[in-house]
Amino acid sequence: MSAVYVHNITVDSGTDYEQEYDLYEVGGKVVDLANHTARAQIRKHRGSSTSVNFTVGFPDRSKGKVKLSIPSYTTSRLKPGRYLYDVLFTKPGGTNEVILEGTVNVRAGISTNCFGGSRPGSAQRLCIAVIDEASALNDAGTKWAQFRSTYPGRTFYLLQPKTEGFGTLVNSSNYTEMKCPGQFLNETTVNTGRLISEDGD
C-alpha cells in the first residue's frame, strides 16, 4: 500500500455512522490486511488537541475490507461543521502508514434529539487504569489476553502518575519501568497525547 485514498464523508449528529471500504493497491490487487491493525480519528484541524475515535473493524481481511463506525452517543457530541479524518494502519512489521483520509461534514440532526440514541455497550466503554508503581507481572499477561479476547473493541488507557506533574507525556523507558505485559505494549501507542490539554480542551 502506498497510495492515500481520499474520501469525504458526512456524519449526521445523533445517528449511528457506518462506512465500509474495499482497499486495492495501485495495480488493482486487493490489499491483504492480515495481521494489520488500524486506528482512525476525527479532528477539527490537524493540530487540534481533541479528537473523536472511529471503531475500526475488518469484516474480511483477505479481501481488504475495512469498516469505520461511530455510535450515536458519540456523534451527538459533535458540533456541526467541517472536520478532518484519517485512518492509520500498522503493518505486521510495525510500519505505520496513512491509507485513507478526507473531510467530515457534520450536520445537525432534526429528529435525532427526540430520543436518547444508543448507549455504549460493555465492549464500547472507555477503560482507564492507573498504576503508581512497578509491580511483578505474575499472570498479568494471561489476564490481559483474556481482557482483549472478551472486549476486543474496547479503548484502553494506562496512566502513570509522574513527579514531573499533570499531563506529562511518557516515553518507552516508563513503559519498561511499569513492567507491562508484552501483549499490551505490542498494541499500544506511546504518547498519544494528553487526554486533557493545558487549556482544558
Same domain, 18 and 105: yes
Report yes or no on 161 lying in a domain: yes
- Give the three cell numbers for residue 99: 491509507
Angle at Cα 14 formed by Cα 105 and Cα 200, nearest 5°?
75
Residue that finishes a domain, picked among 77, 109, 141: 109
When pLDDT is averaged across residues 139-162 and rounded to a whole number, the result is 72
When pLDDT is averaged across residues 32-61 and rounded to a whole number, the result is 91
Residue that finishes a domain, picked among 87, 109, 131: 109
Whether the predicted pLDDT of 138 surpasses 70: no
Q: What is the pLDDT of residues 9-42, one digit of tens each?
A: 999 998 899 999 998 887 788 888 999 999 999 9
Same domain, 30 and 51: yes
- Give the three cell numbers for residue 70: 461511530
Task: Identify the CATH number of the domain in which residue 65 sits.
Answer: 2.60.40.10
Domain assignment of residue 73, given as a range: 5-109
- Of 124 and 61, the structure prediction assigns the larger pLDDT to 61
- Give the three cell numbers for residue 61: 481481511
Whether the predicted pLDDT of 78 surpasses 60: yes
Whether the predicted pLDDT of 74 surpasses 80: yes
Q: How many domains does the chain have?
A: 2
CA–CA distances in Å: residue 21 to residues 69, 103, 110, 116: 12, 16, 28, 29
CB 58 within 8 A of CB 33: yes
Same domain, 21 and 85: yes
Residue 26 pLDDT: 78
Report yes or no on 95 lying in a domain: yes
Residue that finishes a domain, picked among 109, 132, 159: 109
Q: What is the pLDDT of residues 157-180, one digit of tens each?
A: 666 666 655 555 656 566 556 666
Whether the predicted pLDDT of 192 surpasses 90: no
Same domain, 140 and 104: no
Report yes or no on 194 lying in a domain: no
pTM for the predicted model, two decimal places: 0.56
